[in-house]
Structure 1
Amino acid sequence: MARKRTYNRRNQPQNKILSVLILVAVIGFYLWQNNQASHSNQGATSTKPFSSAVAADNQALLNLKWDGTLDGDVVHINSDKATFTNVEMGETFPSQGSKLRPVDGLSLSPLDNLGRSQQGNFIASRSAMDKVTKRPDRIGYDVRPSGWFINDRFDGTKWVGGYHNNPNVKLGNSKQALWNKSHIVGYQFFGMPTMVTENMTTGTRVENAYPGQLVAEDDIRNAIKKHPNIMIRGQVTPLYIGTERLPRGVHYMAKSIQDNGKILNLNYWIFNVQPGITIDYQTGKATIQKSAK
């Protein structure tokens, strides 16, 4: 009679432990890959320093040529030296309780006679930023800068008619909406009072925050975070050619007040452009090239 076969079970606990360790390692690697991918989609990766240029006036800024790259969206002007006068550095912009002067430190300009947003001036400070509440998920429909709709018209106070076209286009490792309602003075400095048409332009995702104006805004925020007692004088000016509805870019200057620019002194030209996109600045229409589809 054959002997009944028996099995050695002494190694089973070790085998179970090994299986668990392998499973944990696989899950950890999967999560790490996803984390890397999510970080790569959050913003542009800088491969070279931003370019620089000398520009004596607004026309010189408009004459600058974009090099076609993400990094080329931001240009450092005049060795990063803001050109505020002593009078401008002394302005404080006290609140007038109005749409254009809603809170201390913020001064917006009225739309021009073509319905286009103009220059914003501000004093950024820790106290003002501490009052900012969580930003809404969406900017209101009635906040409508020039060029946001196509074939619309300006009735003297607001834009009416037309239609909106905002395609998702390739940017980095993902697809994102081409057009943003781009703040002139950033939300992070004053919150809800910045959510008005007079403080918006129709900007590409790149111009707005990829890297775009977010570079200057983060420079200001980080300076205040490191030096909570300083105040920073800022000025943002959209520049247009002729009667075009979309700005060709924005001129962004900022300078720390108490130390006359030792902590922060910046002067940027930020193109309203995006790789793979041809923009008609007169109408707001965009042609998407194969590389951006």
Structure 2
Amino acid sequence: MNNQSKPIDQKTTATAHMKTDTTQSSSENSISQMKGSANAKKDTAATNKASIGNRYKTLADLEYKGKQVIILNNNRTTFSKSDLSLSKGSWQSFSNVDSLNRVGVANAMLSKSLMPTEDREPLYVNPTGWKNKKIKVNGKTEWLYNRSHLIGFQLTGENNNPKNLMTGTRSLNDPDMLIYENKVASYLKRTNHHIRYQVEPIFRGNELVARGVHMQAKSIEDNEVEFNVYIFNVEQGVTINYTDGSSSVQSTATINNKTTSSTINRDTSSSNNNTTSVSTSGLTVYPGDKATVSVKTKPNVQGTIEVDYSSGPSHASGLEPKTSDNKGNIRWIWEVGTRTKPGTYNVMISVNGETIKKHLVVK
């Protein structure tokens, strides 16, 4: 009996082989599934990349037809679920400049904690296509270009970062981008919530000046804030050469089909020929002081003010367009930055068809 083979041994051996075969098959299936999952992720990533590339080209090929801000995708963002995750908390990131030194897309998960507590320093970085000059359109003298932040300074305090600055027209920067930035900033201050934010400059080919910017934002903890817009980088009455940033002012007939009013380049506070007077008693200040301009004009007319520092037009709080009260009074009060260099700076006040030039003296 000791020399006979035991059936149980054969069965055990067969069972072992079956287990080995099953384990191997299961392992192969697992590897196959992993490869399939990995390939699926690669395909999804490739599809998403292609979709983004197609969207970029579509925007780059758009032609301006009189409307500077265009709503995209019914104002709904195209962020993915992972894009909206709060797993990393608050953050911001910028693309490296390309071979032409142009900026790329900027992303952020914004919150109040990222917002600056110090005044903004003067800007000195010159982005691609920076051929700035003062122009006169419809009787108003102004700078054509601003050093435009992709992620606005008021949102994260990012300032002289070459990866965050592009050459943008005054109207692109203020009011168009600023309107959306202010909406985001107001929400963050009021709620202490988060907003997923993205700004992408859109270039055509190898041009050095962007044709526009694509802005998206969505609040995370609620649905209060969401927008998806494209803003053309244009300026009324100006033809821009996007290849290098050079520009030319169109003829007055092209601007508004009639003769435009000329700029009133004067330093007097009143004139018998005009209905607007300006008080400049609050325009001699020290860095950190509040400057004041008071205007007397007709009731219920809109006025704008521009303060031109050496770095370009100021975007300080208090310099927004205003409407005169029922007695014709307008007052602008703003804080001069603590790092503003002593000097004399132009202040352009436009009210009721008049543009009046004054001077801010910083001691």
Residue 139 of structure 1: which of 120, 123, 141 is its match?
123
Equivalent position of 2:101 in the other structure: 115
Query: Which digits, 9 at most, give the CA deviation of each residue in 1:154-182, with x for residues without a partner?
Result: xxxxxxxxxx44123326x7321001111
Equivalent position of 1:224 in the other structure: 188
How far the C-alpha of 1:219 sits from its partner, in A, is 1.7
1:167 aligns with 2:162: no
Equivalent position of 1:207 in the other structure: 172
CA distance in 2, matches of 1:224, 1:165: 33
Higher relative contact order (CA 8 A, sep 6+): 1
Equivalent position of 1:44 in the other structure: none
Letter in 1 for 2:119: K
Q: How does 1:55-74 map to 2 (within 5 A)?
A: 57-68=55-66, 72-74=67-69
Identity of matched residues, %: 33
How far the C-alpha of 1:224 sits from its partner, in A, is 2.2
1:78 aligns with 2:68: no
1:185 aligns with 2:142: no
How far the C-alpha of 1:281 sits from its partner, in A, is 0.5
SS at match of 1:127: helix
Over 3 Å counting, the alpha-carbon distance change for 1:178 and 1:121 in structure 2 is: same
Contact 1:169 1:178 in 2 (8 A): no
How far the C-alpha of 1:216 sits from its partner, in A, is 1.5
| Unpaired stretches in structure 1, ≥5 consecutive residues | 1-55, 95-103, 149-163
Letter in 1 for 2:170: R
More strand by share: 2
Contact 1:252 1:267 in 2 (8 A): yes
TM-score (normalised: structure 2): 0.52
Residue 288 of structure 1: which of 249, 268, 272 is its match?
249
Letter in 2 for 1:221: A
Letter in 1 for 2:56: N
Over 3 Å counting, the alpha-carbon distance change for 1:78 and 1:220 in structure 2 is: same
CA distance in 2, matches of 1:135, 1:206: 21
Over 3 Å counting, the alpha-carbon distance change for 1:132 and 1:75 in structure 2 is: farther
Query: Which digits, 9 at most, give the CA deviation of each residue in 1:131-160, with x for residues without a partner?
Result: 431123x302xx121111xxxxxxxxxxxx
Contact 1:107 1:120 in 2 (8 A): yes
1:275 aligns with 2:236: yes
TM-score (normalised: structure 1): 0.64
Rg larger in 1 or in 2?
Answer: 2
Q: How many residues align?
A: 201
Letter in 2 for 1:61: L
CA distance in 2, matches of 1:269, 1:147: 20
Query: Which digits, 9 at most, give the CA deviation of each residue in 1:110-131, with x for residues without a partner?
Result: 10111101111112212222x4
Equivalent position of 1:88 in the other structure: 83
CA distance in 2, matches of 1:257, 1:194: 25
SS at match of 2:101: coil
Query: Which digits, 9 at most, give the CA deviation of each residue in 1:90-118, with x for residues without a partner?
Result: 26667xxxxxxxxx512111101111011
CA distance in 1, matches of 2:94, 2:86: 14
Query: Which digits, 9 at most, give the CA deviation of each residue in 1:205-255, with x for residues without a partner?
Result: 01111x2211210121122244x2210010000011110001100100000
Residue 126 of structure 1: which of 112, 127, 131 is its match?
112
Contact 1:231 1:256 in 2 (8 A): yes
Contact 1:105 1:124 in 2 (8 A): yes
CA distance in 1, matches of 2:86, 2:239: 39
Contact 1:184 1:200 in 2 (8 A): yes
Letter in 2 for 1:76: I
CA distance in 2, matches of 1:128, 1:222: 14
Equivalent position of 1:243 in the other structure: 206
CA distance in 2, matches of 1:91, 1:73: 33
Contact 1:207 1:213 in 2 (8 A): yes
How far the C-alpha of 1:186 sits from its partner, in A, is 0.3
